[in-house]
Amino acid sequence: MSTPGRAGKAGQGLQLAPFRGLRYVPERVGSLAAVTSPPYDVVVRPDGLRHLETADPHNIVRLILPQAASAADRHRLAAETLRRWQDEQVLAPDPEPALYVYEQRGGGILQRGLIGALRLSPREEGVVLPHEDVMPHIVEDRAALMRDTGANLEPLLFSYRGNGSTTGAAGVIDRVTATPPLLSTTTDDGYAHRLWSITDPHDLELIGKDLSQQHALIADGHHRWATYLRLRAEQPAPGPWDFGLVLLVDTARYPLRVRAIHRLLHRLPVAEALAAVEGVFRVRTLDGPLPAALDALAEASERPGNAFVLAGDGRFHLLDRPDPAVLARLVPADRPEAWRTLDATVLHSVLLEHVWRVPDDPEHIGYIHETAAAVKQAERHGGTAVLMHPVKEDVVRELAEQGVTMPRKSTSFGPKPATGLVLRSLALN
Protein backbone atom coordinates (compact mmCIF):
# COMPACT_ATOMS: atom_id res chain seq x y z
CA MET A 1 0.00 0.00 0.00
CA SER A 2 2.22 2.81 -1.25
CA THR A 3 2.02 6.44 -0.30
CA PRO A 4 0.15 8.25 -3.10
CA GLY A 5 0.98 11.73 -4.34
CA ARG A 6 -1.12 14.82 -3.84
CA ALA A 7 -3.02 14.62 -7.09
CA GLY A 8 -6.20 12.63 -6.92
CA LYS A 9 -9.42 12.19 -8.81
CA ALA A 10 -12.60 13.59 -7.33
CA GLY A 11 -14.68 10.88 -5.72
CA GLN A 12 -11.85 8.32 -5.56
CA GLY A 13 -12.67 7.55 -1.96
CA LEU A 14 -10.59 7.27 1.17
CA GLN A 15 -6.86 6.50 0.96
CA LEU A 16 -5.44 5.40 4.30
CA ALA A 17 -1.67 4.95 4.19
CA PRO A 18 0.50 2.99 6.65
CA PHE A 19 3.00 4.97 8.74
CA ARG A 20 5.70 4.29 11.32
CA GLY A 21 3.89 4.94 14.56
CA LEU A 22 5.75 6.78 17.30
CA ARG A 23 4.78 5.14 20.60
CA TYR A 24 5.70 5.29 24.27
CA VAL A 25 8.24 2.72 25.46
CA PRO A 26 6.41 1.08 28.41
CA GLU A 27 9.58 0.58 30.42
CA ARG A 28 10.34 4.32 30.35
CA VAL A 29 7.01 5.57 31.75
CA GLY A 30 4.97 4.87 34.88
CA SER A 31 2.15 3.31 32.87
CA LEU A 32 0.57 3.77 29.47
CA ALA A 33 -2.64 4.97 31.11
CA ALA A 34 -0.72 7.67 33.02
CA VAL A 35 0.74 9.20 29.84
CA THR A 36 -2.50 9.39 27.85
CA SER A 37 -4.93 12.30 27.68
CA PRO A 38 -8.29 13.18 26.18
CA PRO A 39 -8.09 15.27 22.98
CA TYR A 40 -6.71 18.78 23.55
CA ASP A 41 -10.11 20.48 23.37
CA VAL A 42 -11.72 18.14 25.91
CA VAL A 43 -9.18 18.73 28.68
CA VAL A 44 -10.88 20.91 31.29
CA ARG A 45 -8.43 23.67 32.19
CA PRO A 46 -6.87 24.37 34.61
CA ASP A 47 -7.95 21.46 36.86
CA GLY A 48 -7.84 18.73 34.26
CA LEU A 49 -4.57 20.00 32.82
CA ARG A 50 -2.94 20.01 36.25
CA HIS A 51 -4.17 16.48 36.95
CA LEU A 52 -2.69 15.17 33.71
CA GLU A 53 0.63 16.97 34.16
CA THR A 54 1.07 15.39 37.58
CA ALA A 55 -0.05 11.91 36.49
CA ASP A 56 3.32 11.27 34.85
CA PRO A 57 6.18 13.62 33.85
CA HIS A 58 5.84 12.29 30.30
CA ASN A 59 2.07 12.75 29.92
CA ILE A 60 1.16 13.63 26.33
CA VAL A 61 -0.60 16.79 27.52
CA ARG A 62 2.88 18.39 27.70
CA LEU A 63 2.93 18.12 23.90
CA ILE A 64 -0.68 18.92 22.98
CA LEU A 65 -1.19 21.68 25.60
CA PRO A 66 2.28 22.94 26.55
CA GLN A 67 2.40 25.68 29.18
CA ALA A 68 4.56 28.78 28.66
CA ALA A 69 4.30 32.57 28.71
CA SER A 70 3.51 33.04 25.01
CA ALA A 71 2.12 31.01 22.13
CA ALA A 72 5.52 30.93 20.42
CA ASP A 73 7.15 29.71 23.63
CA ARG A 74 4.49 27.03 24.08
CA HIS A 75 4.99 25.61 20.62
CA ARG A 76 8.79 25.77 20.93
CA LEU A 77 8.59 23.97 24.27
CA ALA A 78 6.46 21.19 22.77
CA ALA A 79 8.94 20.69 19.93
CA GLU A 80 11.87 20.56 22.35
CA THR A 81 10.04 18.13 24.60
CA LEU A 82 9.16 15.84 21.69
CA ARG A 83 12.80 15.77 20.52
CA ARG A 84 14.07 15.10 24.04
CA TRP A 85 11.64 12.26 24.64
CA GLN A 86 12.77 10.62 21.41
CA ASP A 87 16.44 11.10 22.30
CA GLU A 88 15.77 9.56 25.72
CA GLN A 89 13.83 6.65 24.17
CA VAL A 90 10.67 7.60 26.01
CA LEU A 91 9.06 7.60 22.56
CA ALA A 92 10.32 5.26 19.85
CA PRO A 93 9.18 4.51 16.28
CA ASP A 94 7.79 1.16 15.25
CA PRO A 95 10.15 -0.76 12.95
CA GLU A 96 8.00 -0.59 9.81
CA PRO A 97 4.98 1.30 8.45
CA ALA A 98 1.64 -0.05 9.57
CA LEU A 99 -2.03 0.64 9.89
CA TYR A 100 -3.28 0.19 13.43
CA VAL A 101 -6.48 -1.38 14.70
CA TYR A 102 -7.66 0.54 17.76
CA GLU A 103 -10.26 -0.78 20.19
CA GLN A 104 -12.06 1.02 23.03
CA ARG A 105 -14.35 -0.82 25.41
CA GLY A 106 -16.29 0.63 28.34
CA GLY A 107 -19.64 1.91 29.52
CA GLY A 108 -21.43 -0.72 27.48
CA ILE A 109 -19.68 0.46 24.28
CA LEU A 110 -17.32 -1.43 21.99
CA GLN A 111 -15.65 0.64 19.29
CA ARG A 112 -13.06 -0.51 16.77
CA GLY A 113 -11.45 1.35 13.92
CA LEU A 114 -8.36 1.89 11.83
CA ILE A 115 -5.65 4.46 12.59
CA GLY A 116 -3.60 5.58 9.60
CA ALA A 117 -2.41 8.52 7.55
CA LEU A 118 -5.35 9.69 5.46
CA ARG A 119 -4.77 11.45 2.14
CA LEU A 120 -5.96 15.03 2.50
CA SER A 121 -8.66 16.14 0.11
CA PRO A 122 -10.49 19.44 -0.37
CA ARG A 123 -14.14 19.61 0.51
CA GLU A 124 -15.23 19.80 -3.11
CA GLU A 125 -13.98 16.25 -3.75
CA GLY A 126 -16.68 14.98 -1.39
CA VAL A 127 -14.36 12.40 0.16
CA VAL A 128 -14.18 13.98 3.61
CA LEU A 129 -17.36 15.72 4.81
CA PRO A 130 -17.11 18.38 7.51
CA HIS A 131 -20.26 19.34 9.38
CA GLU A 132 -19.08 22.29 11.48
CA ASP A 133 -17.42 25.64 10.92
CA VAL A 134 -14.05 26.35 12.54
CA MET A 135 -12.58 29.22 14.52
CA PRO A 136 -9.52 30.75 12.80
CA HIS A 137 -7.58 31.40 16.03
CA ILE A 138 -7.73 27.72 16.97
CA VAL A 139 -6.56 26.62 13.52
CA GLU A 140 -3.68 29.11 13.78
CA ASP A 141 -2.65 27.74 17.18
CA ARG A 142 -2.84 24.08 16.10
CA ALA A 143 -0.97 24.89 12.86
CA ALA A 144 1.88 26.54 14.76
CA LEU A 145 2.09 23.56 17.11
CA MET A 146 2.14 21.00 14.27
CA ARG A 147 4.58 23.10 12.29
CA ASP A 148 7.05 23.35 15.18
CA THR A 149 6.77 19.74 16.31
CA GLY A 150 6.60 18.28 12.79
CA ALA A 151 4.09 15.76 14.08
CA ASN A 152 0.44 14.73 14.16
CA LEU A 153 0.09 14.29 17.92
CA GLU A 154 -3.46 12.88 18.10
CA PRO A 155 -5.74 11.06 15.67
CA LEU A 156 -8.93 12.74 14.46
CA LEU A 157 -12.15 10.73 14.74
CA PHE A 158 -13.79 10.05 11.35
CA SER A 159 -16.79 7.82 10.62
CA TYR A 160 -17.89 6.00 7.49
CA ARG A 161 -20.75 3.66 6.69
CA GLY A 162 -19.68 0.21 5.55
CA ASN A 163 -22.04 -2.17 3.77
CA GLY A 164 -22.39 -4.48 6.75
CA SER A 165 -20.24 -7.25 5.27
CA THR A 166 -17.52 -9.05 7.21
CA THR A 167 -15.03 -8.90 4.32
CA GLY A 168 -12.59 -6.17 3.36
CA ALA A 169 -11.56 -3.87 6.20
CA ALA A 170 -14.12 -5.45 8.55
CA GLY A 171 -12.71 -8.91 7.96
CA VAL A 172 -9.14 -7.76 8.59
CA ILE A 173 -10.16 -6.03 11.82
CA ASP A 174 -12.01 -9.12 13.07
CA ARG A 175 -9.04 -11.35 12.31
CA VAL A 176 -6.43 -9.03 13.81
CA THR A 177 -8.32 -8.43 17.05
CA ALA A 178 -8.26 -12.19 17.73
CA THR A 179 -4.46 -11.95 18.13
CA PRO A 180 -2.39 -10.51 21.02
CA PRO A 181 -2.30 -6.67 20.91
CA LEU A 182 0.71 -4.38 20.76
CA LEU A 183 -0.53 -2.62 23.86
CA SER A 184 -3.37 -2.79 26.32
CA THR A 185 -4.28 -0.31 29.05
CA THR A 186 -7.26 1.00 31.02
CA THR A 187 -7.61 4.74 31.60
CA ASP A 188 -9.11 6.58 34.57
CA ASP A 189 -12.50 6.86 32.86
CA GLY A 190 -12.82 3.06 32.92
CA TYR A 191 -12.26 2.55 29.19
CA ALA A 192 -10.00 -0.29 28.10
CA HIS A 193 -7.79 0.46 25.10
CA ARG A 194 -6.02 -2.03 22.82
CA LEU A 195 -3.87 -1.48 19.73
CA TRP A 196 -2.70 -3.86 16.98
CA SER A 197 -0.53 -3.24 13.91
CA ILE A 198 -1.28 -4.37 10.35
CA THR A 199 1.72 -4.77 8.07
CA ASP A 200 0.76 -7.72 5.86
CA PRO A 201 0.59 -6.48 2.22
CA HIS A 202 -2.50 -8.56 1.45
CA ASP A 203 -4.38 -7.15 4.45
CA LEU A 204 -3.36 -3.63 3.53
CA GLU A 205 -4.56 -4.21 -0.03
CA LEU A 206 -7.96 -5.48 1.20
CA ILE A 207 -8.37 -2.42 3.41
CA GLY A 208 -7.29 -0.06 0.66
CA LYS A 209 -9.73 -1.50 -1.88
CA ASP A 210 -12.59 -1.35 0.64
CA LEU A 211 -11.95 2.22 1.79
CA SER A 212 -11.53 3.48 -1.77
CA GLN A 213 -15.32 3.10 -2.11
CA GLN A 214 -16.08 5.13 1.01
CA HIS A 215 -16.34 8.75 2.10
CA ALA A 216 -16.00 9.91 5.70
CA LEU A 217 -17.73 12.30 8.05
CA ILE A 218 -15.52 14.32 10.39
CA ALA A 219 -16.92 13.22 13.74
CA ASP A 220 -14.32 15.00 15.87
CA GLY A 221 -11.40 17.15 14.75
CA HIS A 222 -12.65 19.88 12.41
CA HIS A 223 -10.00 22.34 13.56
CA ARG A 224 -7.19 19.84 13.22
CA TRP A 225 -8.44 18.79 9.75
CA ALA A 226 -8.46 22.46 8.73
CA THR A 227 -4.95 22.64 10.17
CA TYR A 228 -3.83 19.67 8.07
CA LEU A 229 -5.15 21.37 4.92
CA ARG A 230 -3.52 24.66 5.81
CA LEU A 231 -0.11 23.08 6.43
CA ARG A 232 -0.31 21.01 3.27
CA ALA A 233 -0.77 24.22 1.26
CA GLU A 234 2.50 25.54 2.73
CA GLN A 235 4.59 22.50 1.76
CA PRO A 236 6.00 21.27 -1.54
CA ALA A 237 4.19 18.30 -3.03
CA PRO A 238 4.22 15.36 -2.83
CA GLY A 239 5.27 14.68 0.75
CA PRO A 240 4.24 13.63 4.26
CA TRP A 241 2.15 16.80 4.76
CA ASP A 242 -0.27 15.42 2.15
CA PHE A 243 -1.59 13.11 4.87
CA GLY A 244 -3.00 13.47 8.36
CA LEU A 245 -3.46 11.10 11.28
CA VAL A 246 -7.04 9.83 11.70
CA LEU A 247 -9.06 7.04 13.28
CA LEU A 248 -11.69 5.66 10.86
CA VAL A 249 -14.70 3.94 12.44
CA ASP A 250 -17.31 2.00 10.47
CA THR A 251 -20.53 3.15 12.16
CA ALA A 252 -22.54 0.42 10.46
CA ARG A 253 -20.74 -1.93 12.84
CA TYR A 254 -19.77 0.40 15.69
CA PRO A 255 -22.23 3.31 16.06
CA LEU A 256 -20.80 6.44 17.63
CA ARG A 257 -22.31 8.15 20.64
CA VAL A 258 -23.33 11.77 20.06
CA ARG A 259 -23.26 14.28 22.91
CA ALA A 260 -23.77 18.02 23.07
CA ILE A 261 -21.09 20.64 23.63
CA HIS A 262 -22.20 23.24 26.14
CA ARG A 263 -21.53 26.99 26.10
CA LEU A 264 -20.05 28.97 28.98
CA LEU A 265 -20.83 32.69 28.69
CA HIS A 266 -18.06 34.21 30.76
CA ARG A 267 -19.40 37.74 31.13
CA LEU A 268 -23.16 37.23 31.20
CA PRO A 269 -24.73 36.61 34.65
CA VAL A 270 -27.72 34.29 34.73
CA ALA A 271 -30.08 37.02 35.95
CA GLU A 272 -29.26 39.20 32.93
CA ALA A 273 -29.62 36.26 30.55
CA LEU A 274 -33.04 35.37 31.93
CA ALA A 275 -34.31 38.94 31.83
CA ALA A 276 -33.28 39.30 28.19
CA VAL A 277 -35.07 36.15 26.97
CA GLU A 278 -38.43 37.16 28.44
CA GLY A 279 -40.96 37.06 25.61
CA VAL A 280 -38.59 35.13 23.31
CA PHE A 281 -38.66 31.80 25.19
CA ARG A 282 -40.81 30.40 27.93
CA VAL A 283 -38.69 30.29 31.13
CA ARG A 284 -39.22 27.89 34.02
CA THR A 285 -37.00 27.38 37.08
CA LEU A 286 -36.56 23.65 37.68
CA ASP A 287 -36.60 21.71 40.91
CA GLY A 288 -33.91 19.18 41.66
CA PRO A 289 -30.23 18.59 40.85
CA LEU A 290 -28.41 18.52 37.51
CA PRO A 291 -29.63 15.04 36.40
CA ALA A 292 -33.24 16.16 36.85
CA ALA A 293 -32.55 19.32 34.84
CA LEU A 294 -31.06 17.25 32.03
CA ASP A 295 -34.08 14.95 32.08
CA ALA A 296 -36.36 17.99 31.73
CA LEU A 297 -34.20 19.24 28.84
CA ALA A 298 -34.42 15.86 27.10
CA GLU A 299 -38.20 15.81 27.51
CA ALA A 300 -38.56 19.35 26.15
CA SER A 301 -36.29 18.51 23.21
CA GLU A 302 -38.65 15.75 22.11
CA ARG A 303 -41.34 18.37 21.47
CA PRO A 304 -41.32 20.82 18.52
CA GLY A 305 -39.19 23.91 19.09
CA ASN A 306 -35.83 24.48 20.73
CA ALA A 307 -34.87 24.05 24.38
CA PHE A 308 -31.92 24.94 26.59
CA VAL A 309 -31.08 24.91 30.29
CA LEU A 310 -29.32 27.90 31.84
CA ALA A 311 -27.21 27.43 34.98
CA GLY A 312 -24.74 29.38 37.06
CA ASP A 313 -26.75 30.88 39.91
CA GLY A 314 -27.18 27.67 41.88
CA ARG A 315 -30.42 26.77 40.08
CA PHE A 316 -31.47 25.46 36.67
CA HIS A 317 -33.74 27.32 34.26
CA LEU A 318 -35.43 25.64 31.29
CA LEU A 319 -35.92 27.72 28.15
CA ASP A 320 -38.38 26.24 25.66
CA ARG A 321 -41.30 27.08 23.35
CA PRO A 322 -39.57 29.91 21.44
CA ASP A 323 -41.70 32.55 19.71
CA PRO A 324 -42.05 31.37 16.07
CA ALA A 325 -42.24 34.97 14.82
CA VAL A 326 -38.90 35.81 16.45
CA LEU A 327 -37.27 32.74 14.92
CA ALA A 328 -38.68 33.54 11.48
CA ARG A 329 -37.26 37.03 11.69
CA LEU A 330 -33.78 36.23 13.05
CA VAL A 331 -32.78 32.77 11.73
CA PRO A 332 -31.24 32.95 8.22
CA ALA A 333 -33.69 31.67 5.64
CA ASP A 334 -31.17 30.52 3.00
CA ARG A 335 -30.47 27.10 4.58
CA PRO A 336 -32.39 23.81 4.77
CA GLU A 337 -35.10 23.44 7.37
CA ALA A 338 -33.02 20.84 9.24
CA TRP A 339 -30.34 23.49 9.75
CA ARG A 340 -32.73 26.31 10.62
CA THR A 341 -34.31 24.30 13.43
CA LEU A 342 -31.08 23.11 15.08
CA ASP A 343 -30.65 24.16 18.70
CA ALA A 344 -27.15 25.42 17.91
CA THR A 345 -28.46 27.52 15.02
CA VAL A 346 -31.13 29.13 17.19
CA LEU A 347 -28.69 29.64 20.05
CA HIS A 348 -26.15 31.45 17.88
CA SER A 349 -28.47 33.23 15.43
CA VAL A 350 -31.09 34.34 17.94
CA LEU A 351 -29.84 34.29 21.52
CA LEU A 352 -26.13 34.99 21.25
CA GLU A 353 -26.22 37.41 18.32
CA HIS A 354 -29.44 39.34 18.91
CA VAL A 355 -30.84 38.74 22.40
CA TRP A 356 -27.73 38.56 24.56
CA ARG A 357 -25.35 40.24 22.08
CA VAL A 358 -22.44 38.02 23.10
CA PRO A 359 -19.51 37.99 20.63
CA ASP A 360 -18.43 34.51 19.55
CA ASP A 361 -14.82 34.79 20.69
CA PRO A 362 -12.81 33.11 23.48
CA GLU A 363 -13.09 36.10 25.81
CA HIS A 364 -16.86 35.74 25.90
CA ILE A 365 -17.69 32.09 25.11
CA GLY A 366 -16.12 28.84 26.24
CA TYR A 367 -17.02 25.44 24.77
CA ILE A 368 -17.17 22.67 27.38
CA HIS A 369 -17.97 19.01 26.78
CA GLU A 370 -18.72 17.94 30.36
CA THR A 371 -22.03 19.17 31.75
CA ALA A 372 -20.99 19.30 35.41
CA ALA A 373 -17.79 21.17 34.53
CA ALA A 374 -19.76 23.80 32.59
CA VAL A 375 -22.10 24.37 35.55
CA LYS A 376 -19.25 24.47 38.05
CA GLN A 377 -17.28 27.06 36.08
CA ALA A 378 -20.35 29.24 35.56
CA GLU A 379 -21.10 29.21 39.28
CA ARG A 380 -17.47 29.85 40.20
CA HIS A 381 -17.04 32.86 37.91
CA GLY A 382 -20.55 34.35 37.82
CA GLY A 383 -21.26 33.47 34.20
CA THR A 384 -23.99 31.49 32.47
CA ALA A 385 -23.76 27.88 31.33
CA VAL A 386 -26.02 27.06 28.38
CA LEU A 387 -26.69 23.32 28.48
CA MET A 388 -27.73 21.72 25.20
CA HIS A 389 -29.34 18.48 24.04
CA PRO A 390 -27.37 16.39 21.50
CA VAL A 391 -28.16 16.27 17.77
CA LYS A 392 -28.92 12.92 16.14
CA GLU A 393 -26.12 11.53 13.96
CA ASP A 394 -28.46 11.08 10.96
CA VAL A 395 -29.20 14.83 10.97
CA VAL A 396 -25.48 15.62 11.07
CA ARG A 397 -24.71 13.31 8.16
CA GLU A 398 -27.70 14.53 6.12
CA LEU A 399 -26.56 18.15 6.37
CA ALA A 400 -22.92 17.27 5.68
CA GLU A 401 -23.87 15.41 2.52
CA GLN A 402 -25.76 18.52 1.37
CA GLY A 403 -22.62 20.59 1.95
CA VAL A 404 -24.25 22.49 4.83
CA THR A 405 -22.14 23.14 7.92
CA MET A 406 -23.60 23.39 11.40
CA PRO A 407 -22.61 26.11 13.86
CA ARG A 408 -19.20 25.42 15.35
CA LYS A 409 -18.99 23.01 18.28
CA SER A 410 -22.50 21.66 17.68
CA THR A 411 -21.73 18.02 18.45
CA SER A 412 -19.40 15.80 20.42
CA PHE A 413 -18.99 12.34 18.92
CA GLY A 414 -17.42 9.57 20.92
CA PRO A 415 -15.90 7.73 22.43
CA LYS A 416 -12.94 9.82 21.32
CA PRO A 417 -9.57 8.14 20.80
CA ALA A 418 -7.16 8.50 23.69
CA THR A 419 -4.27 10.80 22.83
CA GLY A 420 -0.81 9.33 23.35
CA LEU A 421 -1.21 5.73 22.22
CA VAL A 422 0.29 6.35 18.76
CA LEU A 423 1.75 9.53 17.22
CA ARG A 424 2.83 10.29 13.65
CA SER A 425 6.16 12.04 13.16
CA LEU A 426 6.42 13.56 9.72
CA ALA A 427 10.19 13.11 9.80
CA LEU A 428 9.62 9.34 9.84
CA ASN A 429 6.81 9.31 7.26
Q: Each residue of 202-212: pLDDT tens digit?
A: 999 999 999 99
Number of alpha carbons in the 13 Å side-chain half-sphere of residue 119: 27
What's the pLDDT at 9? 42
**Identity of the highest mean pLDDT range in 223-227, 258-262, 368-372:** 223-227
Residue 7: pLDDT band (50, 70, 90) is: very low
Q: Which residue has the higher pLDDT, 414 or 45?
A: 414
Q: Per-residue pLDDT tens for 36-57?
A: 999 998 886 677 888 888 889 9
Q: ω before 240 within 30° of 0 (cis)? A: no
Strands (E), 74-221: 91-93, 99-106, 109-119, 128-129, 151-152, 156-160, 183-186, 192-198, 216-220
Residue 243 has pLDDT above 70, yes or no: yes
Pairing of β 156-160 and β 243-250: parallel
How far is the C-alpha of 217 from the C-alpha of 129, rounded, in Å? 5
With a pLDDT cut of 90, the percent of the chain lying above it is 81
How far is the C-alpha of 23 from the C-alpha of 183, rounded, in Å? 10
What's the pLDDT at 171? 96
Q: Per-residue pLDDT tens for 92-133?
A: 999 999 999 999 999 899 999 999 999 999 988 999 999 988
| Rounded mean pLDDT, 268-282 | 97
Residue 10 has pLDDT above 70, yes or no: no
What's the pLDDT at 44? 67
Residue 166 has pLDDT above 60, yes or no: yes
How far is the C-alpha of 1 from the C-alpha of 91, rounded, in Å? 25
Nearest to 83 by CA among 150, 154, 37: 150
Q: Which residues pair with 24 in a beta bridge?
A: 91
What's the pLDDT at 149? 98
Average pLDDT, the chain: 93
What's the pLDDT at 244? 98
| Rounded mean pLDDT, 237-245 | 95
How far is the C-alpha of 219 from the C-alpha of 173, rounded, in Å? 20
Residue 6 has pLDDT above 50, yes or no: no
What's the pLDDT at 5? 34
Q: Per-residue pLDDT tens for 85-100?
A: 999 999 999 999 999 9
Residue 135 has pLDDT above 90, yes or no: no
What's the pLDDT at 397? 86
Q: Per-residue pLDDT tens for 64-86?
A: 999 999 999 999 999 999 999 99
| Rounded mean pLDDT, 255-284 | 96
Domain boundaries of the chain, sorted by first residue: 16-257+414-425, 262-409
Residue 315 has pLDDT above 60, yes or no: yes
Residue 11 has pLDDT above 50, yes or no: no
What's the pLDDT at 214? 95
262, containing H or E segment:
strand 262-265
